[in-house]
């Protein structure tokens, strides 16, 4: 894991990286598109993950030629997701890595396209864990002009941490997130969610199988 020099600050995506929520999006979306004889697989999903919800919804509707609007899809999806998100569990190695870095005094932030309501549901059983992050930037923050793959959310997270973007390392699972971190002038470790084609994350500095493969000693230096 050649991150040299080590980061002074670490920023994480959330869905599919810290929390195992991507499977909920897949299940719910397949249930919706299946009514129209369509299949939601990674050839479609890989172009949606990490992006703002409305952009992903428009892509889905256009690509699968659904007889509904993007707004219709999001409204139906929202209620179904609200029932599932409180059951979200951490991804392997997520708690251990973030706690190890916190113990070393490394400031950490979450930068997620998730909006405030779903974020609260996803993290309601993990509040103690998420309390260790020095900053959390959500997708519906009015200070964000453009969603991923634009760099806005990561640059805002760096400002919240009072960090130089060049000294930050981002951990991501989505192509749009890798592109956003690159555009922000940050280094990137990609950890593709199972099923994602790792080749789509080739622009990252490092591609790993799991957060359990991240060595906190080599990733960041404490204060």
Residue 140 known to be catalytic? no
Evaluate the omega torsion of the peptide bond into residue 5 and state whether it is cis, within 30 degrees of 0. yes
CA 31 – CA 124 distance, rounded (Å): 25
Residues contacting 29, CB < 8 A, separation 6+: 40, 45, 60, 77
Return the DSSP state at 90. Answer: B
Residue 6: what pLDDT?
87
Task: For residue 15, give the 3-state DSSP assignment.
Answer: strand
Give residue 37's region: left, alpha or beta (phi > 0; psi -120 to 50).
left
Among 86, 108, 142, the domain boundary falls at 86
Same structural domain, 69 and 172: no
Pairing of strands 168-172, 135-138: unpaired
Residues contacting 36, CB < 8 A, separation 6+: 64, 66, 67
Residue 13 known to be catalytic? yes
Residue 223: what pLDDT?
59
Catalytic residue (one of 4, 15, 72, 215): 15
Residues lower than pLDDT 50 in the chain: none
In a domain, 144, yes or no: yes
Same structural domain, 14 and 33: no
Residue 5: what pLDDT?
81
Number of independent structural domains in the chain? 2
Residue 1: what pLDDT?
56
In a domain, 4, yes or no: no
Which domain CATH number covers 56?
1.10.150.240
Residue 214: what pLDDT?
95
For residue 173, the enclosing domain spans 9-20+88-219
């Amino acid at each position: 894991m050649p991150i040299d020099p080590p980061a002074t600050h670490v920023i994480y995506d959330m869905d599919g990286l810290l929390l195992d929520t991507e499977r909920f999006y897949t299940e719910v979306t397949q249930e919706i598109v299946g009514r129209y004889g369509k299949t939601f697989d990674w050839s479609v999903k890989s172009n949606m993950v990490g992006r703002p919800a409305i952009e992903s919804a428009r892509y889905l509707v256009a690509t699968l030629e659904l007889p509904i609007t993007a707004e219709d899809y999001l409204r139906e999806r929202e209620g179904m997701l609200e029932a599932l998100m409180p059951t979200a569990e951490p991804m392997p190695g997520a708690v251990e890595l973030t706690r190890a870095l916190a113990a070393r005094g490394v400031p950490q932030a979450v930068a997620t396209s998730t909006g405030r309501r779903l974020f609260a549901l996803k993290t309601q059983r993990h509040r103690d864990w998420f309390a260790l992050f020095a900053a959390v930037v959500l997708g519906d923050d009015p200070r964000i002009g453009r969603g991923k793959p634009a760099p806005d959310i990561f640059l805002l997270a760096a400002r919240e941490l009072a960090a130089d973007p060049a000294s930050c390392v981002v951990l991501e699972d989505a192509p749009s997130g890798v592109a956003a971190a690159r555009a922000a002038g940050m280094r990137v470790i990609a950890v593709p969610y199972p099923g994602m084609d790792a080749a789509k994350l080739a622009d990252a500095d490092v591609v790993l199988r799991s957060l359990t493969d991240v060595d906190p000693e080599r990733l960041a230096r404490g204060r």
